């Protein structure tokens, strides 16, 4: 049975471009947001923090996360 002659095939044709735009938009939003832990990890990886500073700040962030 050929549903394209009855309009069934075009009914959801707008859905694919909409999904592609949503995925692209979500990807850009995800890249913009960095958590405090991510920033701390990057600073430690770059050598900006000693291991003691990293562990201290990481514990503070974990306590804040647990409290609220």
pLDDT tens for each residue of 22-67: 988 887 776 666 788 989 999 999 999 999 999 999 999 988 877 8
Q: What is the pLDDT of residue 6?
A: 54
Q: What is the DSSP letter of 5?
A: G
pTM across the whole model: 0.50
**Under 8 Å between Cβ of 61 and 36:** yes
Q: What is the DSSP letter of 54?
A: H
Q: What is the pLDDT of residue 17?
A: 84
Matching residue, tokens 């549903």? 3
- Who has greater pLDDT, 5 or 67? 67
What 3-state DSSP class applies to 55?
Answer: helix
């Amino acid at each position: 049975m050929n549903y394209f002659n009855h309009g069934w095939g075009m009914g959801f044709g707008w859905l694919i471009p909409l999904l592609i735009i949503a995925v692209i938009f979500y990807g850009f939003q995800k890249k913009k947001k960095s958590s405090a832990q991510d920033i701390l990890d990057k600073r430690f990886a770059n050598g900006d923090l000693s291991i003691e500073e990293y562990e201290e700040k990481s514990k503070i962030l974990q306590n804040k996360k647990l409290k609220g």
